[in-house]
Amino acid sequence: MLDGYEGWIHSFYSYELFGKFEKNINISKYWVKKKFTNLIFNDGTSLTLSFGSLLPCLEFDNKIIIKLYDGREGELDKNDLSSYENPLKLCEFIDLHINQFLGIQYLWGGKSSFGFDCSGLIQTILNVCGVSKFPRDTSKQINSKFLSPISGTPSKGDIIFFKKNNIVNHVGIYINNNCFIHSSGSVKINSISNSSEYFSENLKSMKNQIFRLSSYVK
């Protein structure tokens, strides 16, 4: 896994995906940047893929093709994808795509449009925006080499961590200098400023600290 988490797959599912294709076809990796996109197969059936899926794709004739382990081929809409090698900048992503997550249910361990936990939401957004080594868990995210603590007014793309009893247990990402998006019950927008319509008394009662990403990311 990109974040160092270990996973496994049964040997039954192993498959040489691209061995049968011509040498002049380019194989590229793409992130799904939309909440959901459909992989459309030649027989008219489809498979729903969620935000944050990382896909090895074949590129030719201005088409994006993916080949499954069972030999089926499907076509993807390139407008729903973000290049792994040339990802969107974080602030651009926030402006164009962040609202698509509102209302997605909280799911412990979730890191897709089918459900997010708080750290899964932040990690998946940053992955799609080029921060591929950002840690999975909140307790490790706050110590990431990509972040530096700041004081003063937060800006778009800053990360806010919350502590209870001096233990980091929640995280969100600023979408402007007043409000942040996070997953708590569902993905929502809140603020700790009592002058904001998105004010959250529950979060304000917790200690918080704001961090800024390395400038090259934003």
User: Is 97 in the active site?
Assistant: no
Q: What is the mean pLDDT of residues 157-164?
A: 95
Q: Give the model's pLDDT for residue 68.
A: 81
Q: Give the model's pLDDT for residue 215.
A: 61
Catalytic residue chosen out of the listed positions 57, 97, 129, 170 = 170
Catalytic residue chosen out of the listed positions 57, 118, 129, 179 = 118
The DSSP annotation for 1-58 comes to -TTS------GGG---SSTTS-TTSEEEEEEE-SSEEEEEETTS-EEEEETT-EEEEE
pTM of the model: 0.85
DSSP element (H, E) containing 55: strand 54-60
Give the pLDDT band (50/70/90) at residue 5.
Answer: low
Per the prediction, the chain carries an average pLDDT of 87
Residue-range domains of the chain with CATH: 11-83 (2.30.30.40), 90-213 (3.90.1720.10)
Q: Give the model's pLDDT for residue 214.
A: 81
User: Is 57 in the active site?
Assistant: no
Helix-helix angle 118-128:90-97, to 10 degrees: 110
% of residues, the chain, pLDDT over 90 = 69
Catalytic residue chosen out of the listed positions 57, 97, 179, 182 = 182
Give the pLDDT band (50/70/90) at residue 46.
Answer: very high
Q: Encode pLDDT of 199-215 as tens digits.
A: 998 888 899 999 999 86
Q: Encode pLDDT of 70-84 as tens digits.
A: 788 899 999 999 999
User: Is 118 in the active site?
Assistant: yes
Which structure tokens are listed for 62?
Answer: 């201005």
